[in-house]
Every structure is written in structure tokens, then in C-alpha cells.
Amino acid sequence: MSTFKDVPIKNVQDYWNARPCNIRHSPKPIGTKEYFDEVEVRKYAVEPHIPQFADFPSWKGKRVLEIGCGIGTDTINFARAGAKVTAVDLSKESLELAQKRASVFNLADRIQFFCGNSEELDQFVPVDKYDLVYSFGVIHHTPHPERVIKCIRKFMNADSELRIMLYSKASYKLFWIMKEECVWDMGRLDELIARNSEAQTGCPVTYSYTFNEVRSLLSDFQIIEMQKAHIFTWDIEAYKRYEFKKDAIWANVSDEQIAELEKELGWHLLTRARLAV
Ligand SMILES: C[S@@+](CC[C@H](N)C(=O)[O-])C[C@H]1O[C@@H](n2cnc3c(N)ncnc32)[C@H](O)[C@@H]1O
């Protein structure tokens, strides 16, 4: 996994500034309350494992550090649940929307925002201990994920918890990408995944991980739990029109069967960990 190490961070920043994550989750005017409400409904409808994984209510009165908040869907929910949140993102465009969102919902006093590269987090966020360090779908997009993990440790103590989502290599999404591209060359996985991992093609950096690769990335941590979640079963063209219709290939598969398959082939590798003592 060395293909992305030489990608300049500016390329990553430009990509996410050009199209902040989930920005098209609602057709309503961007920045309005209706827009943010729809973004949230759609995100958690398609990815119901997120609120389960984040478990927002359990962080009431606690300190949460979010790495890569994007336009702030989870950020707002931590704050709403009563957490005191520090949220970081590399993309100024994303962060501006997250900040707007915080003020639209009167939560600005519960969230501190910082713009910067989390590979050097301790250079621009005051080092302090947090109850939760949370990062959903972010660390695999930076050229040096191990630098982020090294920094994160400084913001944790023995009682802190880390919850991160990284993309899973052995996934239905990978097979889908290979089918779409008509490329079955396992030597080109990183390139194929990066090109197709996001709504906007051509992400400059997208690593993906096996369970063992996550264990080695988090070698200084004690893993509490690892699991896979999320197979996108919706018809993509209908989804783009804001309609939810199951893709034909899933028509005869029950929700229970999909849930079983997600444990094996889900695209989101969810890890909970603590610092190793
Ligand atoms: C797929 S989005 C996820 C956003 C958010 N966590 C969510 O679930 O909606 C990835 C985010 O990671 C941010 N990002 C990528 N590399 C980063 C880095 N080195 N430091 C901080 N943020 C970064 C991007 O700007 C983008 O907002």
C-alpha cells in the first residue's frame, strides 16, 4: 500500500473543496435548515450503521474530537446529544458548511472548528485529552494515514476511545468497481478503488484495508471491536433522482440476508479501540 504516499496534500484538499462530501444529498438551497435536515435524513437512511457506530447519546457531557468532519452531519449530532466537540477538516469549503450548519441549529457554542491537515493535527489543534476520537471515512483519504494515527494518540489517555471507519478491501464494492471498469487485475486494486470510491470519480487518495492491515495501522492500540457494514443496494440512477428503489440484483434478497452479507463484504470497516496499556 504505497501508491498514494507521494500525492501532494493540496491535491486531496482541492478534490474535497471542489465537491464536499454529501453536498448533493439534498436538492434544497445549500446552507438552509431544510437542506441540512434532508442531508441528514438521506445519509442515515443509506448508512444507518453510522448513528449506531457513533452512538451519539453516550457522549453527552463528554469531549469529542472529530477528524474530517466534512459538512458536519455527525458533528452536529454529537453536539445535539450534548457533547463538546472539536471538529477538523482539510477542506475549507466543507468546514464553512459545517460551521454554517452549527449556527443554523444554534450549536455553534458547542463546537470548535479547525481547518488543517490531520497528519499534523498537534500543530494546529491544542493538545488535550478527549473522551472520544472519531473519524468516519477520512483517514484512508490522506497520503500518510499512519501520521494521523500517531498524532491522534496525543489526544487520548487510557480512558479515551477511538472509533474510526476505514474502507474495507474485501468488499462487494470492490467487485462492483471491477465489474463497472471491466478490469479484473488484482494488481490494480488501489487505483481502481480510488477512482471509484466516492460520488465524484477520481479521488486522489483512497486506501482500503483488510482486518490485519487495520491491526497493523493501530499497532499501538488495543482493539475493542472490528466489524464490516454497508452494502449499497439502491438503484444508482433512481438514487440520484432522490428516489429509493432497490437495484434489481437485490430484489430477491431479504434484509436479513443482506445484513449477513454486509458482515463479510461490507465497504465500511468499523473499528473501536483504546490505547494499549
Ligand atoms: C468522505 S469525506 C467524510 C466526511 C465526514 N466524516 C462524513 O462522514 O460525512 C472525507 C473528508 O476527509 C477530509 N480529509 C481528507 N484528508 C484529510 C486530512 N489529511 N486532514 C483532515 N481532513 C481530511 C476531506 O476534506 C473530507 O471532508
Q: What is the pTM of this model?
A: 0.97
Residue 140 neighbours by CB distance under 10 Å = 26
pLDDT digits (tens, 9 = 90+) for 160-170: 999 999 999 99
- Judge whether 206 lies within some domain: yes
Measure the CA–CA gap between 256 and 143, rounded to whole angstroms. 37
Q: How remote is the CA of residue 134 from the centroid of ligand 1, in Å?
A: 12
Domain presence at residue 3: no
Among 89, 119, 121, name the best residue to mutate to test ligand 1's pocket (greatest count of ligand atoms within 8 A of Cβ): 89
Tell me, yes or no, whether 4 lies in a domain. no
Distance from Cα 21 to the centre of ligand 1, integer Å? 8
State which residues form the domain around 241: 9-275
Q: Given this model, what pLDDT does residue 32 score?
A: 97
CB of 113 shorter than 6 A to ligand 1: no
Q: How far apart are CA 229 and CA 76, in angstroms?
A: 22
Which CATH number is 46's domain given?
Answer: 3.40.50.150
User: With the C-alpha atoms ordered 137, 209, 54, 276, is the resulting torsion angle positive or negative?
Assistant: negative
pLDDT in tens, 10-68: 999 999 999 999 999 999 999 999 999 999 999 999 999 999 999 999 999 999 999 99
244-276 tens-digit pLDDT: 899 999 999 999 999 999 999 999 999 999 999
Instruction: Convert the pLDDT of each residue in 79-114 to its tens digit.
Output: 999 999 999 999 999 999 999 999 999 999 999 999
Confidence of residue 3 (pLDDT cuts 50, 70, 90): confident
Q: Which residues contact 221 (CB under 8 A, 6 or more apart)?
A: 162, 273, 274, 275, 276
Are the beta carbons of 9 and 119 closer than 8 angstroms?
A: yes
Q: Which atom of ligand 1 is nearest to the CA of 71?
A: 9
pLDDT tens per residue, range 135-145: 999 999 999 99
Q: Is the CB of 121 under 6 A from ligand 1?
A: no
User: What's the pLDDT at 273?
Assistant: 98
pLDDT at 1 over 60: no
Which residue(s) pair with 274 in the sheet? 222
- For residue 226, list its beta bridge partners: 271
Beta strand spans in 9-147 (E) = 63-67, 84-89, 111-115, 132-136
Mean pLDDT of 122-127: 98
Q: What is the pLDDT of residue 277?
A: 83
Q: Give the mean model confidence (pLDDT) for residues 203-214.
A: 97
Q: Is residue 57 part of a domain?
A: yes
Burial string for 52-77 (b: 16+ CB within 10 Å, else e) reads: ebbebeebeebbbbbbbbbbbbbbbb
Q: How many CB atoms lie within 10 A of CB 257?
A: 11
Calculate how far, in angstroms, residue 139's C-alpha sits from the geometric centre of ligand 1: 7
Q: How many domains does the chain have?
A: 1
Torsion angles phi and psi, residue 158, rounded to 5 = -60, -25
Tell me the mean pLDDT in the region 189-195.
94
Q: Is 85 a member of any domain?
A: yes
